[in-house]
């Protein structure tokens, strides 16, 4: 069988390949999908990719699949591991963190102020894929970012780690000199926090994704995948964010919940309500991503089980603790029995609930001589019109019901209302279409809407 395009999503636990045709027409088509376990531990992710292709051929009942273009996203081997270093935690550090997360990074370490010996030791241990250096509004404080740059430039173990500088523009020439002197690569972009209470994260997000693609050879076999692709390899969360932003332009404010084997990500694109924005104590980006590295339904499954407790899980599943423990002992990334599916449904609900509550802001009350004052902190989700589920668990296991239960919260939390529409990426193609949208934006949007329409009708 001949298709126009293959898009591969190489995840931490599963690898999915999707086949498409006619992407540059008014009638793009999703042809089929194949999946397999990701094979990082076997020393080569292309083994899992080949197995996913075999599954695709089986599902299409085709002896072969030929394609013209190949796109890919990846979160294998920890995905895009970054560290972020800024000046003030609630200002430049927060802005840099938002830029990194929105680009699809998995942030391993954050510092504010001048780096200490213990910070440098931890940097050596982490060995990040990219270091993001910020600090100071434009024409403001300069010394901290310059000091940190000098420290990072001297770390021999990180001599091949690219650095992105997104701080005070007055430092740009000095920063470039610092890294040129040790023959290290540095990328200079606009300040992520140019003025007090102003975020400028888009240039940094774009540069992070470009640098990620240039240096994506950390997962065994990824260098082979890079030779296959026609476009940039995007971090999978970055591709999901791109798809989220495309959808927001078409259907309005939304939240996307992506439950994976290693992490649970929440993406939101909304300015929030005017009422909340008037009492918001610090700015939030319109497009925000949070990643919960402790909430994954395979690699981090024990964290979720411990949070719920075996007693509560057995009660919810209507089985004995002995039977539950047996299911857990035989747990697999792709469930094979009804009981395994029921367990993953419960774990997915718990992961989603915790993740969206961590993502959302909340109201707080201050008491002073003039009485009670209400302020808002964090991301306001109260104006969101749609919640969309993606990732293997939510797209395969009654995701609409799970997401409906997820938004039960207290009145102080800035969560979506109970009237919000729930949609699911039924075809499990959101990340693939995010990377495809770089070249075929109209075709990608049309297929995104078709995949979501299988959940609930979208009223445009």
Any idea where the domains of the chain sit in the sequence? 5-76, 80-215, 232-293+352-452
- Are 5-76 and 232-293+352-452 the same fold in CATH? yes
CATH architecture for the domain at 232-293+352-452: 2-Layer Sandwich (3.30)
Model pLDDT, residue 460: 46
Supply φ then ψ for residue 290, to 5 degrees. Answer: -120, 145
Phi-psi region of 371 (alpha: psi -120 to 50; beta: other; left: phi over 0): left
Model pLDDT, residue 298: 84
- Which DSSP category does 326 fall into? H
Q: Count Cβ neighbours within 10 Å for each residue of 183-212 and write b for 16 or more, e otherwise.
A: ebebbbbbbbbbeeeebbbbebbebbbebb
Say if residues 256 and 388 touch (Cβ distance below 8 Å).
yes
**What are 6's strand-pairing partners?**
19, 70
Q: What CATH number belongs to 80-215?
A: 3.40.50.360
Calpha distance 273→406 (Å, rounded): 21
Model pLDDT, residue 219: 58
Say if residues 424 and 452 touch (Cβ distance below 8 Å).
yes
pLDDT along the chain (460 residues), means of 10: 93 88 96 86 78 94 93 76 92 90 86 96 94 96 97 94 96 97 94 93 90 65 73 86 96 95 92 93 92 85 91 94 92 83 93 94 88 92 96 87 84 91 94 95 96 60
- Of 112, 177, 187, the closest CA to residue 150 belongs to 177
Say if residues 135 and 151 touch (Cβ distance below 8 Å).
no
Say if residues 175 and 144 touch (Cβ distance below 8 Å).
no
Model pLDDT, residue 104: 77
Per the listing, tokens 């009942």 go with: 61
Helices and strands, counts by H and E, the chain: 17, 17
Walk across the sheet containing 264-269 and list its strands. Answer: 287-292, 264-269, 254-259, 386-390, 421-424
- Going through 333-401 in order, the beta strands assigned E by DSSP cover 362-368, 371-377, 386-390
Calpha distance 59→33 (Å, rounded): 7
Cα 364 to its chain centre, rounded Å, is 28
Model pLDDT, residue 330: 87
Which CATH number, 3.30.420.40, 3.40.50.970, 3.40.50.2300, 2.30.30.790, labels domain 5-76? 3.30.420.40
Model pLDDT, residue 81: 85
């Amino acid at each position: 069988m001949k298709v126009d395009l293959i898009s591969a999503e190489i995840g931490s636990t599963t690898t999915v390949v999707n086949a498409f045709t006619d992407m540059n027409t008014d009638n793009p088509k999703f042809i089929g999908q194949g999946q397999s376990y990701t094979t990082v531990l076997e020393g080569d992710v292309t083994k899992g990719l080949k197995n996913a292709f075999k599954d695709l051929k089986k599902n299409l009942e085709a002896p072969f699949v030929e394609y013209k273009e190949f796109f890919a996203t990846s979160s294998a081997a920890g995905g895009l591991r970054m560290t972020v270093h800024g000046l003030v935690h609630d200002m430049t550090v927060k802005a840099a963190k938002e830029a990194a997360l929105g680009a699809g990074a998995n942030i391993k370490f954050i510092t504010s102020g001048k780096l200490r010996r213990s910070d440098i030791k931890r940097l050596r241990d982490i060995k990040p894929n990219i270091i993001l250096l910020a600090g100071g509004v434009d024409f403001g404080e300069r010394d901290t970012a310059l000091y940190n740059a000098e420290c990072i430039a001297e770390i021999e173990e990180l001599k091949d780690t690219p650095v992105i500088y997104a701080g005070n523009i007055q430092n740009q020439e000095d920063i470039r000199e610092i890294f040129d002197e040790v023959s290290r690569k540095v990328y200079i972009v606009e300040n992520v926090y140019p003025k007090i209470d102003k975020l400028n994260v888009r240039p940094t997000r774009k540069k992070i994704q470009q640098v990620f693609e240039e240096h994506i050879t950390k997962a065994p076999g990824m260098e082979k995948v890079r030779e296959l692709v026609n476009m940039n390899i995007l971090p999978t969360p970055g591709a999901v964010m791109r798809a989220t932003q495309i959808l927001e332009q078409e259907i309005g404010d939304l939240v996307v919940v992506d439950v994976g084997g290693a992490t649970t990500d929440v993406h939101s694109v909304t300015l929030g309500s005017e009422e909340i924005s008037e009492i918001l104590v610090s700015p939030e980006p319109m497009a925000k991503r949070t990643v919960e590295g402790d909430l994954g339904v395979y690699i981090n499954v024990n964290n979720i089980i411990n949070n719920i407790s075996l007693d509560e899980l057995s009660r919810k599943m209507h089985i004995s603790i002995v039977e539950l423990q047996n299911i857990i002992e035989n747990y697999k990334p792709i469930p094979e029995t009804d009981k395994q599916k029921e367990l993953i449904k419960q774990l997915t609900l718990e992961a989603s609930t915790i993740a969206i509550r961590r993502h959302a802001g909340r109201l707080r009350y201050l008491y002073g001589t003039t009485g009670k004052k209400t302020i808002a902190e964090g991301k306001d989700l109260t104006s969101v019109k749609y919640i969309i589920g993606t990732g293997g668990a939510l797209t395969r296991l009654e995701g609409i019901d799970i997401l409906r239960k997820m938004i039960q919260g207290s009145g102080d939390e800035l969560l979506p209302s109970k009237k919000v529409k729930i949609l699911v990426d039924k075809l499990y193609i959101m990340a693939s279409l995010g990377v495809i949208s770089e070249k075929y934006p109209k075709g990608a949007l049309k297929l995104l809407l078709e995949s979501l329409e299988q959940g609930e009708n979208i009223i445009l």
